[in-house]
Structure 1
Amino acid sequence: MSRAVVYPSLTESGRWRTDFNLDVNYDLPLDFFINFGLSLNYDSQPAQGGDETDYIFQTTVGWSL
């Protein structure tokens, strides 16, 4: 599943932000699962010393009832 959101800043003119998420879920035997996720966050005017782009990689192992 993926999702992308683009939105302007409410407090600063000309500032835009983007969030992109990608999740992949894999079912394992005995109701276990593993999930891999990637999030990309972009800010056109980051704080001083900050990066415009942030990446988040996530791995989840779980069990569903």
Structure 2
Amino acid sequence: MAVKKTSSNEAAASVGQEPRYVLAELKEHAQELFGVKAEVMTGAFYQAEEERLSVTEARTKIEQFMKAKVEK
């Protein structure tokens, strides 16, 4: 699965045109696509309703998860 790096404007414009993948398939390639372990994706998509996601949508959700403030 090759992924071309794009600017945020190009990515936003092409989200509707991107292929969508089953979450399990994205998890298999988490390190190559997003630079994270599959466990991070499990946390980021805990109780997620989306069955199929584009790479851009998944990356956005992972970034939000990684930046989330942890409360004690």
TM-score, normalised with respect to structure 1: 0.22
Of structures 1 and 2, the larger Rg is shown by 1
Where is the helix percentage greater, Structure 1 or Structure 2? Answer: 2
